[in-house]
Structure 1
Amino acid sequence: MSNASWIQMPPEAGLTQVEALAALRTSEERFHAFVTSGTNVVYRMNADWSEMSQLVGHNFIADAPQPTNNWLAEYIYPEDQTRLLATIAEAIRARGVFEMEHRVRRLNGSVGWARSRAVPLLDAQGAIREWIGSAVDVTERRQNEQNLNEAQERYSGLLNSINEGYCVIEMIFDDNDTAVDFTYVEVNPAFEKLTGMSGVLGLRVRELIPDVEQRWLDAYGRVALTGEPVRRIDEVKPINRWFEVCCFRLGGPESRKIAILFNNITAQVETENALHASEVLYRGLFNAIDEGFCIIEMIFDAANRPVDYLILEVNPAFEQQCGLLDATGKRILELLPDHEPYWFEMYGKVALTGEPVRVQVESKAQQRWFETRAFRIGGEGSLKVAVIFNNITERKNVERKLQEQAHALSDLDRRKDEFLAMLSHELRNPLAPMTNALHMLRLQPQKDPVQRQALGIIERQLGQLKHLVGELLEISRITTGRVQLRLERIALSGVLHRAIETAQPLLEERRHVLEVSAPPHPVWLQADPSRLEQVVVNLLTNAAKYTDPGGRIWLSVAQDGQEAVLRVRDTGIGIAAELLPHIFDLFTQADKSLDRSQGGLGIGLCLVQRLVELHGGNVSVTSVLGQGSEFVVLLPVTSLDLKPLLPPQAEVVRPAGKCCRVLVVDDNVDAAQSMGALLAMHGHEVRVVHDGEAALEAVQSFPADVVLLDIGLPGLTGLEVARRIRQLPALKDLVLVALTGYGQESDRERTREAGFDHHLVKPADFDAVLKILEAIPAMTA
C-alpha cells in the first residue's frame, strides 16, 4: 500500500498530520486485507488508469500479477468500455470514489457482470498516487433481475385486471435540481386501498407524509430529469408499507410529470429472492381470485388461421367457472369438439396484435355465457394468451327476463297510449254534433228561464267533457314524445291575461277572489304561448277546484335574474304530506273521496310538469294539509337583444252580405247535419253527404267554395278524396278543410301532402270554421 492517504481526515478529529498519516496507513493495510478476503477481484491502477499494476481474479477473471496497459481490452466487455472510461474520468476529476457495474470477460470465456469500486490514494499534497479497487461478481443477481423483469411482463396483465395502484405526480425541484416534493395530479380507485391515503388530489406529498424519505424524491426526480423509467421495490417507512413500483415520465424532456404503477407487497417483501417473491405474489393472486384464469397457447394452421389452443395452466376457479375437468395440457377441441370458431378468432387476434379484449360472449357448446378478458403474455411473436373469465349465465338469464318484462310493460304502455288516443278520438265524434247543436240553440231566442238554465248546464258540462278529452289526448302526445313546441318571443303578461279569461267562469262560479300581481316591465320568454296558457289555466283551475267557495287565489309573476317566477297560491284544502312527492304523477289526485265532486282524471298537473320541462323550466309545490298550496313555475327568460316581434297581420274580413257554398262530408250524420244547419243559419249555402264517393260526385255538381271533409270516412278516406279532388284542374281553387280527431304534427303533415288547406281537430271550434269561410271570398276573388 502507498504511504499517502486515500481519504482526507476531517479536521474535527483532533489528530496531528503525522498521527493522521500513521492511522491511515494502518487503515489501508486493514482495508487491503479486507477487500482481498471479502471480494471476488482486487486490482491496483496508476493515477490515470493507464496501467494496471496488479489484479487478483479469484477465479472470476484471469489474474494479472504483472503490470499491463491492455487491461481494458482484456477484461472489459466492448460495449461497456466507453461508459466505464467516462466514469473513470469523472472519478479522477473529482478525486473521488469510482463505482459502477459493468460486464467483464470471465475466466471461462463467458461474459459476466461485476460491481467495481476503487478509491484513490492521495499524497501529502492531495494528488492521486494510485487507485485500489475491488470487484464483486453480480452475474447471478443480474440474471435474477432479468428473470424478474420477464416475470413482471408476464404477470402485468393479471395485475392490471385486479386494479393495481396508479397515480400521476408532478415533481417539484429546488434551484439545484434537487427533488424536494411532488404534487398528486391523478390517482385511480385502488390508490386509497393500497396506500391508506384519501383525498390526495392537488396535495403535496409532504403535506400528507411530512417525513417522507428523500430517496423516494431522488428516485422520482431522476426519472423526471432523465426520462429513464425506474422499477424498484422499497419501503415507505412513515406508513409502514412496502411497494413494488414502476414509474416513467409522461411527456417530453421538459415535462416533470411521472406516472407510477404500484402494488402493496408488504406481505412478500421479506422473501430472499425477488423472483420468488413475484412468483409467490402471482400464485397467491392466481389461486385466490374467484374468476376463472388460464394461460393458453394459440395454434394456427398453415394459412395462419387460429384453429385450436393448448391449455397450459389453470387456476382453482377454472373448473368451477367453465366446468372443464383436468384441462391442463390438453387442447380445447379435445375437451369441447364443437367449440365455436369465434373463440379461436378472438384469442388469435389477441395473440397476433397484442391488443387486449374484454367481451361478453356465449359458449353454445357449453350453454353458458362468459364475461371474458384476454391479453397477450410476452412480447411480439408470443402466442400465449392469459384469459380471465366469469360465468355470467345466471345474470344473462335474469337480464333476458327483465328485457322481456320491459318489452310485457313497453307493449302495454304503447297499447295504453294507443287506447288513450283512440278513446279521445272516438269521444270527439259525438262531441262535434253536440257542440254544433249547442251553437244552434244559442242562435234561437231563449225566453224561458228554465231553458236558459238548462242550456247553461249543457254548455258548462260540454266544456268540461271537451276539457277531459283534450287532457287525455295531450297526455298521450306528451308521453309518446309527439309534442312539438311552436316557440316565439312572447311577453308572459299576455299568457296570463288569456289564461285568466279562460279560467274566469270557474272562478266566478265558485265565488273565488283572484289577486294578480306582475312587474311593470314585460317578462320576455321564448315559448309556445298556447302551451304556457295551458299550464297557467291548469294551475288556476286546479286551485279553484280544491278551494272551498269564497276562497282566495293569488297569481303572481316576477323576474329573478335569468328566470321568470310564476306562483299560484290558494287557501284550499292543501295536499297531504305523503301525496306531495307524487302530485305530478299521472292519474294522481288529491281528493280520493267516493263522491268525486271535483271531477278530473288526475292528468292536469302531470301536463303542467311535462310542458314546463319542455320549455326548459321546472315546477314545484309546497303545501300543508288544510292550509292551501303554492305552485311555483320557473322558466328561462329570453335575452333582450332579440329582434322585436312582427306586428300581427290584420284579419281578412268577409264583406257584408257575402256567403260561401260549403260541402260538408262526415259519416257521423248528427255531426254533419248539425254543422250544415249552423252554417245555413249564418247565411251560407250548404250541401251534406256522408261518404267519399258521394263527396266526389257532389263536387262535380255543386260549385262549392270550400269542403269540410272528415278524414275517417268509410270506403274512400278523406285523404284519398282530397287527392282525387286535387287531380281535377277545374277544382284547383277549391278550399279543403280536414276534420279529424288527430292533431299531431305528423297528422297535419299527412293532410298537407293530400292537398288540404286547413286542419281542424274535432270537435271543431265553430268560430275557427267561420274565420276560414270569411277569408274564402277574398281568396277566390
Structure 2
Amino acid sequence: MPVRRFSLSSMRGYIVAVLVTLLAFALQWMLRPWLGQREPYIAFLPAVALAAAVGGRGPGLLPLAGGIISAAMWLPLVGGDGASANPADWLTLLLFCAFGAMLSELGSSMRRTGARAFAAEERLVMAIQGTGIGVFDIDLVAELAYVSPALARLVSLPVSSSAVPLADWLARTPPDLLAQSRRYLVEKFRARSRGYEREVRVLQADGTPLWLLLRVHITWSEDRAVRLRGACVDITERKAIDSQLTHAKAELSQQVDDLDQLHELGTHLLDAATLREQLQMILVTVAHFHGCGRGLVSLLDPTDHLLKLETSIGLGPEAVFRLGSMPMGEGASGVACAQRERVVVADIEEDERFAAYRDLARREGFRGVHSTPLLSQRGEVLGAITVHLDHPREPTERERALADICARKAAVFCERARAQAALEESQGRFRAVLETSAVPFIVLSPMHDDQGQIVNFRWNYMNRAAAQALQRQPDELLGHPMTDVLPQRWTAGQAFQNYVAVARDGITREFEARTKLHGHNGWVHCIASPMRGSVAVWFNDITDRKKHEELLRDADRRKDEFLATLAHELRNPLAPIRQAARLSSSAEATEAQKRWSQEVIERQVQHMALLLDDLLDVSRITRGVLSLRKTRTELAAVVASAVETAKPAIDAMAHELVVELPAVPVYLEADPLRIAQVIANLLTNAAKYTDRGGHVRLVAQRQGTDILIDVCDDGIGIAEGALPEVFRMFSQLHSSAERSSAGLGIGLALSKGLVELHGGSIAVRSAGAGAGSTFTVRLPIGEAAPAVAPAVSQPSSPVSAPRRVLIADDNRDAADSLAALLQLDGHETRLSFDGNEALQVWQQFDPDICLFDIGMPGRNGYELARAIRGHPGGCRPLLIAITGWGQESDRQLAIEAGFNHHLTKPVDPQRLVALFG
C-alpha cells in the first residue's frame, strides 16, 4: 500500500487536535458541576468538528477518542457488582461515536474543499499575473470599479485590492484614450451589444507605446447597461512582431519582384545579339530599380585608357557628348573605375568633387549619381554602369545590392564578348596557320554503333596540305565516313586502333603507319590528339625518311663490317712484324735472317701505310679536297705501273693475266699515280674474287675522245641485285666462307671517286653469280700538254754534320726508336714525353731540330710550337710535326702554329733525314 509522507501541515493538524482535545477535557471538567455525569460529550463534539476541519480525518478522531475516554470516566458503563450498566448510557456512547465520526468526515471534507478552492484561486491569480492579463469590473449603477493589480500595473495606475470610485479611475485615464473609449461605448450601447473586442494604444510614461487587447462583456438590466466586465492583454510584442512580419512581407514581395525582374533580364540577355543590346537591357533594369530614367554604361578602352560611352538612356545629346569619352579618375564613372569601388554622389550641388558637372546636371535635371565599376573575375576594370537620380539622396541597400548584381552581369557579358572576339581572332589566326601550313592536318569525328563502339570516323576538317597529300578536294571528303571515301587508306593496320584509343581514352598518341600516298606505297608519321570529342591528326609523308633510315642502317651495317675487316687487315701485318722483330732480336739469328726480318717489317709497315692512305684518300674525295697532279701521261706506262703493283696478288693466286693495249701509243692528261692506283685496285679485286688458276684480262682502247679500260675476270661474279652496291663504301662480295675477308671494301669506292675527279666514269656488269665480272673505266683524253721528262729524284744522302735533335712524343717506343735511328747517323738527341717537359728541355738543350708529336699531354704540339716561336731565338730551330693526323686542315694548322714541315706516321727515315738539310 502507498506510504503517505508526513508533512508539516499534517503535524500542524495533529497538534491542533491535541490542543483542542485537552481544551475539551478542561471545559468538560469545568461544566461538570452544572451538567452532572450524564452529559460527558458536550465539549468534545465541537472539538471533533474543529480538529477535522483544521487537520482532516486523522486529527478529528483524537477529540472523538477523548470523548470516549471521558464517557468511560464519568458513566458507570459496568456495574460494580458485575451487573449490567444502564442501556441508555451505551446508546448515548454509540450515538456519540457515530455522530463524532460524521463530524470528523464532514470536517475533513470541508478542509479538502477549502484547500482546492484556495489552490484554484492561487492558480488563477498566478495565471492572470504571469500572462499579463488584467481584469476589471465596473458597476455603472454604483459607479464603482475594480481593477486587478496586473491591469493597474499595465496602465500605470495605483494597485488596489478593492473597488474604487469610477471617477477616480477615469481621472487617471489619458484624456484622448478616455474620449475614444466613451465614443466607442456609446456606439455599442446604441447597438445594444453584449460585448466587443478592440485594440487600444496607450503611451507609457517613457513615451513608448503600449498595445492592449480589450475584451468587454456588457450586462444589461432591461434597457440599461448596468455592468462592464472584461480583461486586457498586453499585445505590444505581438504588434511588434506583426509589424516586423508586415515589413518582412513587403520586403519579400519587393525581393520577389526584383528576382522576377532579374530573371526576365537574364532571359532577354540570352536573346540579345550584340554586347551593346545586352548592356542596354542591364542599364534599363538598374535605372528601374533606382526609380529613375537616366543612366549610361562606359567601357574602358585598353589602348588609350579612356572610358568610352557604350550605351545610355534618358540623356540629352549634350550629356552624351560630354560623357562620351572620359579619362580614368574624372567624373563618377572615372572615379569608380580608378578606385575600383562604388561611387555615390548624394547631391551633386554639395559634392565638390563633381562641381564641374553641376551645370550639366541642372540642364539634364538630375541631382544624385550612383556609379558601380564593372570588374572581371580576375579583378580587371572593364568599365562602369551609372544611374542619375532625380532627387538628392543616398541609394538604399536594396539599390546597391541590385546594382552590384547587374554590374556583375554586365562584367560577365563584357568578358564573354572579349573572349569571343579573342577566340574568333585566335581561330582566324589558327585557321590561317593551318591553311598555310605545309604539314597536313585533319579532324576526324568518331562514329558509333548501337553498342557505343567506334566503328568509323567522319571527315570534319582538312587543311590545304592534307588535301594535296590525299590528292582529293575537301568537298569529296568532308562530312563523309572515312572508309567510304578512302577505303583501306587509314583503317589498315594499327592506325585505326590508335584513332579509337585517342577518342576513347582522351590521350595523345604518336605512331607511324604504312599507307598509299600519290599512288605509291609509303609511310606516314601521325600525331593524333583528342579535341572536343573528335580526333585531330597531324600527319606527314616520311617515305623518304624511312628510305634514308634504311640507307643509314645499311651504311651502319657496312661500317661495322668495315671495322671488323679493318681490324683483321691491321692484325695481318702485325703478326709477321712481331715474329720478324723477335727473330731479329734473337741471339741465334744469322745476319741473313736479321736482314730478312727487317725486310718483312718494312714491307708490312708499308702495307699498313697504304691501308691508311686509302682511307685518307676516300675521306679527301668525299670532302672534295683531294687534288690531282695532272700531266701528259702515256697510257702504257700507267698500265705497266698498275700491273707491277697488282702482280704479287695475281701470281699468288696463279692467275693468267692478259693485257691488250692500242697499237698506237695513247697519251692523256691525268694524274698517272691515281690512274695507276685505279687500275691496280681493279686488277687486285679481280685476283681476289677469282678462284685459283683463273683468268684476268685487261683491255684498253680508244673510243672517240675517251679511253675505255676493261678489266675482266671469270671469278665469282656479281648478283644482279648487288650491282648498285659494289661502288659504295665498305661494300664487299663474299663467295664462300673461306673468303672471309677480301679487303676493307673501300677500293672500288676510292676508284670511282678518282675516276670521277678526272671527269670519267666507272661501271660494272656481270651475268650473275659464278659468271665473272667486267669493270669498265671511261676517261677523257683531254688536252695533253707537251711531254716533260720527269725529274729523277736522287736519294738524299744523310746529313753530314751532326745536329742536336729534340724529340717529343708521348709514345715512348716511337720516341726511343726514332732517337736510336738518328743516333746511328751521328746526331745528338734528347727525349721528352709531354709538352711542358719539352719546352723546358728546349730551353736547356737549344736544339737545331725539333720533332714534335701533336697529341701530347700538358701542351699539345701546336701550343708547344707557338711557345717556342714566341721566345727570343725561337725562330732558329727547324720544327717538324710528326703526327697521325694527315688531313690538309691538320697540315694547315701545323704551318700556322710555326712548324716548317708536317709528316704523317709512319715516317720514312730517309725522307726525314733529307729535311735536316
Of structures 1 and 2, the one scoring higher in RCO (CA 8 A, sep 6+) is 1
Larger helix percent: 2
Q: Do both share a fold (TM > 0.5)?
A: no
Larger Rg: 2
TM-score (norm 1): 0.44
TM-score (norm 2): 0.38
